[in-house]
Every structure is written in C-alpha cells, then in structure tokens.
Amino acid sequence: MRRARLATLAASFLVAVGFVLLWQAVADARLVSPVFLPGPDRAWGALVGGFQNGTLIQKWTGTLERMVYGWLLASALGICVGALIGISQAARAYLSTTIELVRPLPASAAIPVAIAFLGLSESMVLSVIAFGAVWPTLLATVHGFSTVHPRLYEVATALGMSRLAVIRKIALPHSMSDILAALRLSLTIALILSVVGEMLASRDGLGSWILLAARSFRSQDLFAGVILLGVTGFVSAMLLNLVEAWLLRWRSEGRR
C-alpha cells in the first residue's frame, strides 16, 4: 500500500515537472508573445521578488484572511442550519423546494445585490463568499442527517435523548465523512470568491494584484499571483485531508 502511494506521488510529481518544462520550452521558443506568456523562470522571479519586498505577502495575507473567515462563516451556518433541517422530516418537506430554487444561483449573481445593501466593503465580500460556500456543507449535512437509520432516532426518543444529544452522538458522527468532503469543496469556492470579490470591490489582495498586473501587461506578476493561488488551494486541501484523517481515525481503528 505504501509503495503504491509513493509511486502515485512520484508519477504526479513527474507530470508537474513535465508541465513546467513544456511551459518553459514554449516560452523560450516564443510561440506566444512574452508579453502574454512569460516563462516559469520569470514568474518565479516575480514571485520571489514580491515576497522579498513584502508586497505579495500583504496581498496574499488579505486573500487568505477573507477565504478563511468566509469559509468559517459558511461552514458554521451550513452545519447548524443543515443539522436543524436534516434531523426534522417536516423541515425537509417544507424547505426542500426553497433550497433547490436558491441553491443553483451563482454567487456572482448575488454580488450586485450585496453591493446594493453593503456597498463595496469588506462585509460585502465576506457575505458573497459565505453565500457561495455555504451550499456544499448545508446540502451534505442535510443528506447525512436524513440518511441516518430511522431506528436510531426511535431508540434515541425511547431513551429520552434531547435533540442536541441526538445530533452530537448519532447524526453528526454518521454524517462526518459527507460534511468533511463538502468542507473541502466549499474551501475551494471560498478562495475563488475571495479573488472575484477583490477584483470587483477593489479590496487589497491577490485578486486586485492579478487584475492590475493584467491591465498593465505585467504577465510575470500575473502568473506569480496565479501560482500562489494554486499553491494556496493545494496546501489548504492537504491540511483538510489531514484533519479528516484525524477525525475519522476511529473508522480505521474499528476495522482492525
């Protein structure tokens, strides 16, 4: 098992290296104008330079804060509201139509509404992030709670357990794998909406950095920002994988 995992990681690393080498070859051959496609060497130089002078660190920190705060807000709302809906069959019957009507709305469509109420402010960006990132967690929580075997709820009622105890001891452990998978997806959505919100609201972050670099034809800075966004998404997903493995360790222990 460990050898197969190492082989998979090695193959993935080689594919990434091959992509970078191909990118460098295309840039060196000038198949695309350097104004629009810098080589990875120039992008890396812009990335290092941005960190050395502190500018890129400030932009990255701003985007990271918006992503984390918006994601935490969406996660808390999604789990709490999803638990209340999922544990009640009547609530699911009454609210399912409304949820299905609102859920497909793209978060970008909510931006003009948020601007009308909150202006081009930090609260507007956070509200848009929370609106877009809440749905995966909310729906996963509702699904997980609704798939708990009815007999377990009957036993909990017979034992006189409170609704909070039922959620904490029965429904939440049963739904944990679904919720954690949704949290990974919502974190990616939060990162995307952080960048979009910064571009539209002119907030200080990687979104505004990338937009200004594109407008001034600083392609190396643009690609440096994109690379940093990719690394941020990758590292955050890996951290969530570690949290998931720790929270669900009881499953592997139970199989022994």
pTM: 0.87
The torsion defined by the Cα of 107, 108, 113 and 115, in degrees rounded to 10, comes to 120
Q: Is residue 94 pLDDT above 60, yes or no?
A: yes
Rounded average pLDDT over 1-8: 73
Residue showing tokens 């377990």: 152
| Domain 46-255, CATH among 2.40.10.10, 3.40.50.170, 2.60.40.1120, 1.10.3720.10 | 1.10.3720.10
Q: What is the rounded CA–CA span in Å between residue 99 and residue 95?
A: 6
Q: Comparing 43-47, 80-84, 149-153, 182-186, which segment has the lowest mean pLDDT? A: 149-153
Q: Per mean pLDDT, which range of 81-95, 121-135, 187-201 is the poorest? A: 81-95
Is the predicted pLDDT of residue 249 greater than 90, yes or no? no
Kindly report, residue by residue over 103-116, the tens digit of the pLDDT: 887 877 788 888 88
Tell me the chain's radius of gyration from C-alpha atoms.
Answer: 22
Residue 191: other Cβ atoms inside 10 A: 26
DSSP string, 136-160: HHHHHHHHHHHTS-HHHHHHHHHTT
Whole-number pLDDT of residue 189 = 93
Q: List the chain domain ranges.
A: 46-255
Residue 222 structure tokens: 């643009």
Tell me the mean pLDDT in the region 218-243. 90
Contacts of 112 (CB under 8 A, 6+ apart): none
